[in-house]
Every structure is written in structure tokens, then in C-alpha cells.
Structure 1
Amino acid sequence: MSYDPYFPEPPAPARQPWDWDAPPPPPPPPAPSRSAGDLHQLRSGYRRLRRVATYTALGYFVLFLLLSGYAPDLMAGEISGGLTTGVLLGLITLPVTLAAIAAYERIARERVDPLAAAIRADAEQAAEAPAPRHGRQSHHGASSWDWPSGGMRA
């Protein structure tokens, strides 16, 4: 670069006396040991489970409501002893919902929870890794801030 007297280059910043004492910048965080694909797989597994359980329980209930509204003759039909089809289908709503919950729990326990446990174990293992020490190290292995550096001694 050529020197221009009208636009001189700014002077280099003066080095402060404490600059040499500054700790080095922290290292970047360690890369996760599990790939992002595992997290994507976990999210999609939970999403699939929620959809199946929700559509099963709500789907049956909506079917019950539609039959009640648009097929009153079917719902008023008597099965035996005063029990109508509508009452029976209404009572079956609870077992269908409980079956959807049981299927959700079983599939989650077999397929999704092991993947979540593996990801959690990897995260805990990464968190337990020893953190790098900052500051200058003396030949004793301790930080230089722990030892006197000279000056007046009593």
C-alpha cells in the first residue's frame, strides 16, 4: 500500500499491559456425538405416535357424532333389554380411547424411548467431559494466578 499524507493509516492499537494476562478465548463447543438424523428420527417417531393415538380416539368420537346426527334410526335401534345402538357406541368410546393410549405407550416404550435414552446418554457423557482450563498454566500444573509472581515479599 502506498502512503497518502491526507489519509494516513490509523495507528495500530496500543497494547495494554494487561493483554498478556487475558485468558485465551474459550474453545468451540464439542460436536455432538449423535447425528442430527437421530434427533430427526426421534421427533418424527413422537409425531407419528401422537397422530395415531389422536386420530384413533378422535376419529371414533367423530364417527359416533356423525352417526348420532345423520343416522338417528340406526342409533335408536334397540339391541336388547332397552340398550340402544347409540348408547352402546357411546360406551365403547372409553375402551377405544384407552386402547389408543395403551398402543401409544407400548410403541413408545419399544421404538422411541430407546432412541431417546441413547441421545440422553450421549448428551450427559458430553456434559461430563472435563472442561478445558483457562488461564496460563505454571510448571506445577496450577493456574499462574494461584502463585505469586514476584514483587515485594514480606
Structure 2
Amino acid sequence: MTHQPGALRQPTAEEFQAVQESAEFRRLRSSFRSFAFPMTAAFLVWYLSYVLLSTYAEDLMSREVVGNLNVGLLFGLGQFVTTFLLTWLYVRHANKSLDPVATRLRTELEGGV
């Protein structure tokens, strides 16, 4: 099998291991985890709070804020808002901190353009 121009080469297991043990890969993993774990925990707490309040704090959740708009509905809509917000924050973090490093590591490992 001949190597075609622009084709990526298949790295060896030893090369993968070397990249995983590199300081740059450890920083990449740490950057991902330092963002993903706290945000995931915060969102799960927020979501679980909504579910528990909906179940056990009916008086609070049914309290009207404006017209027919009550606290429960605001919390529910807030779930959508926070989902989009977290997605936007993650994309921004990935574009700035994760993707450039991951692309550089991948290019070094696989070659290519």
C-alpha cells in the first residue's frame, strides 16, 4: 500500500502512549475536566432542584409572578436557557483552549496538512 499525498498515517500504539504521557496532553485533559466537571455538577444540581421543588414545593412553584406566569414555569424555561448557555460556554472554551491543542497534537501524531 502506497502513501497518498494528503493522507494521514496511522500512528503506532507507542506513539499514542507517548502523547498520552506528554505534559501538553495532561494540560489538555486538565483544561477539559476543569470546565466539564464543575459545569456538569452545577447543571445537575440546578436540574435536580427544579424537579424536587416541582414535587415538594408546590406552593412556591405555583406562585404567580406576572399574570399566568408562575415560578415553576420560569424555572422550567430557565432549564432551556441554561442548556443553551452551557453549550455556548463550552463551545467558546473548546474553541479557545481545547481545539487548538488537540489539533496540534493530532497533526503531530498523524501527519497530514
Is residue 107 of structure 1 aligned with residue 93 of structure 2? Answer: yes
Q: How many residues align?
A: 98
What is the letter of the counterpart of residue 93 of structure 1? Q
Contact 1:53/1:101, CA 8 A, preserved across alignment: no
The runs of 4+ residues in structure 1 deviating greater than 6 Å are: none
Q: 1:41 aligns with which of 24, 27, 39?
A: 27
Query: Over aligned residue pairs, what C-alpha RMSD do you find?
Result: 2.6
Map 1:3-152 onto structure 2 (within 5 A): 36-125=22-111
The structure with more radius of gyration: 1
Deviations 1:94-147 (A, max 9, x none): 01111011101100110111111111121134x8xxxxxxxxxxxxxxxxxxxx
Residues 56 and 123 (structure 1), Cα distance of their counterparts in 2 relative to 1, 3 Å cut: same
What is the letter of the counterpart of residue 43 of structure 1? R
Contact 1:77/1:84, CA 8 A, preserved across alignment: yes
d(CA) in 2 for partners of 1:104, 1:53: 9
Q: Is the partner of 1:45 in helix, strand or coil? A: helix
Residue identity (%):
31
Unmatched 5+ stretches in structure 2: 1-13
TM-score normalised by structure 1 residue count: 0.54
Contact 2:63/2:70, CA 8 A, preserved across alignment: yes
Q: Is the partner of 2:65 in helix, strand or coil? A: strand
TM-score normalised by structure 2 residue count: 0.71
Unmatched 5+ stretches in structure 1: 1-28, 128-154
Task: Please report how far the alpha carbon of residue 57 of structure 1 lies from its aligned counterpart in structure 2 after TM superposition.
Answer: 2.7
